[in-house]
């Protein structure tokens, strides 16, 4: 067998890899907005302890805390839930 001499990539979706960005996800997006926050070292340590105790990811602990805060401090959020 001779090595291929063509330097062109195969067309996406034919015999090659699927085209990037065209793949559809069947996953339902429940939380479409991403929130990144800065926390202190003490807050991070506390979050890690609670996360280990509850055996859930830190992001979910943060989401639960935000839900509780918004429910107790924002009437519109509380009514829309």
Q: Give the model's pLDDT for residue 75.
A: 94
| pLDDT value at 39 more than 90 | yes
Q: Per-residue DSSP letters for 1-17?
A: -PPP---SPPPTTTTSP
| pLDDT value at 68 more than 70 | yes
CA end-to-end span of the chain, whole Å? 65
| pLDDT value at 28 more than 70 | yes
Greater pLDDT, 30 or 4: 30
Which residue ranges make up each domain of the chain?
41-80
Residues above pLDDT 70, as percent of the chain: 69
């Amino acid at each position: 067998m001779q090595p291929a001499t063509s330097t062109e990539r195969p067309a996406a979706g034919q015999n090659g890899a699927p085209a990037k960005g065209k793949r559809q996800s069947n996953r339902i997006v429940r939380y479409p907005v991403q929130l990144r926050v800065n926390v202190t070292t003490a807050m991070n340590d506390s979050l890690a302890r609670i996360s280990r105790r509850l055996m859930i990811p830190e992001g979910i602990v943060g989401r639960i805390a935000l839900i509780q805060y918004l429910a107790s401090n924002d009437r519109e959020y509380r009514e829309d839930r």
